Amino acid sequence: MTDRLVRILVCLHAALILCSSLPGLARQQAAALSTPDDIAADFKEVPCKHNQRLESVRAQFIRMGATPSDITTQKLTDAQNMIVKAPGLTEDIIIIGAHYDFVDLGCGAIDNWTGIVAMSRVYKSIRALEQKKTVLFVAFDNEEQGLLGARAMANAIKKEDLPRYCAMINLDSFGMSKPFAMSNTSSPSLMTAASDAASAFGLAFDKAPIDNADADSSAFLSRKIPAITLAGVSTNWASILHSTSDQKEKIDARAVYLGYRLALALWSQVDQAPCDAFRERPAK
């Protein structure tokens, strides 16, 4: 963890203490936040067997407050997604997703148990607040096989229902550096919103392509749904991801915390905005 990230965490902690002394909404929002220590505790055990992964995702969400009735399994031809629904005041929908599958090498700790943990922590925070839009938290299957779970879900959305899907926020591989947007799989409008969200708590925001890589957000972009992938890998990612080195010891939980905070702040912006606010406008 760089000195800059440590300073950011110190500032965030100070802001959390300040907010907890305020009345009303500010106190409610502060109480809903997870801490870096909370997130570090989630990585004491990382499921490294394929046949345990989906049940471990379910258990993680139940620890975050979900009930079995909140959780459904979407069984598809090529994948099995898990969906946790957080109802809002309207039928507009935000999807927050992370894939749970991993390649045979390694444990899939960074890619992508970190995304699952960050997503579940966003769920815990959101369920303590009142949101306008319904949120579907989706653990996608078979991302590593060609985005199969995400493509199946996106393609199953009826054409007449597409306007109700406001945005898709994808969380993929945190814990190596501060979070950034994967620009080759993200909507420009959501990258701008993510930059604004990051600056609100003093986090310098970057966007960069990852060559020869794709992410589940692309499945939703193909249906004209605004989407973004937030990641947190460093320049040496290729030596760790998809290798025997992808183990829990490689995770910096403080960096995952920053990814969680950025995802939560971005969700708040999307939730408050009109559903079509981030949809790309046709050129005149």
Q: How far apart are CA 176 and CA 193, in angstroms?
A: 23
pLDDT digits (tens, 9 = 90+) for 57-86: 999 999 999 999 999 999 988 899 999 999
Token readout for 242 is 């998809």
Residue 161 buriedness (CB in 10 A; 0-12 / 13-18 / 19+):
exposed
Find all residues with CB under 8 Å of 223, minimum gap 6, and list them.
154, 155, 157, 162, 165
In the chain, the percentage of residues whose pLDDT exceeds 90 is 78
Peptide bond into 236 cis (omega under 30): no
In the chain, the percentage of residues whose pLDDT exceeds 70 is 88
pLDDT digits (tens, 9 = 90+) for 142-201: 999 999 999 999 999 999 999 999 999 999 999 999 999 999 999 999 999 999 999 988
Q: What pLDDT, on the 0 to 100 scale, is given for residue 19?
A: 43
Indicate if the pLDDT at residue 210 is higher than 60. yes
Q: What pLDDT, on the 0 to 100 scale, is given for residue 224?
A: 97
Q: What pLDDT, on the 0 to 100 scale, is given for residue 238?
A: 83
If you ran DSSP here, which 8-state letter would residue 142 be given?
-
Q: Give the HSE-up count for residue 52: Cα atoms under 13 Å, Cβ half-sphere.
A: 9
Q: What residue ranges do the domains of the chain occupy? A: 35-272
Residue 217 DSSP SS3:
helix
pLDDT digits (tens, 9 = 90+) for 39-57: 999 999 999 999 999 999 9
Token readout for 236 is 């040496």
**Sole residue written with tokens 């306007």:** 163
Indicate if the pLDDT at residue 7 is higher than 60. no
Find all residues with CB under 8 Å of 119, minimum gap 6, and list them.
96, 97, 98, 137, 139, 171, 263
pLDDT digits (tens, 9 = 90+) for 32-41: 899 999 999 9
Fold for 35-272, please state it. Answer: Aminopeptidase (3.40.630)
Indicate if the pLDDT at residue 105 is higher than 80. yes
Q: What pLDDT, on the 0 to 100 scale, is given for residue 235?
A: 87
Query: Rounded mean pLDDT of 105-124?
Result: 96
**Contact status, residue 123 vs residue 66, Cβ threshold 8 Å:** yes
Of 38, 172, 29, the residue nearest 96 (C-alpha): 172
Rounded to 5 degrees, φ, ψ at 69 are -70, -15
Q: How far apart are CA 200 and CA 113, in angstroms?
A: 27
Q: What pLDDT, on the 0 to 100 scale, is given for residue 280?
A: 84
User: What residues pair up with 228 in beta bridges, in sequence order?
Assistant: 169
Find all residues with CB under 8 Å of 165, minimum gap 6, and list them.
93, 95, 157, 220, 223, 225
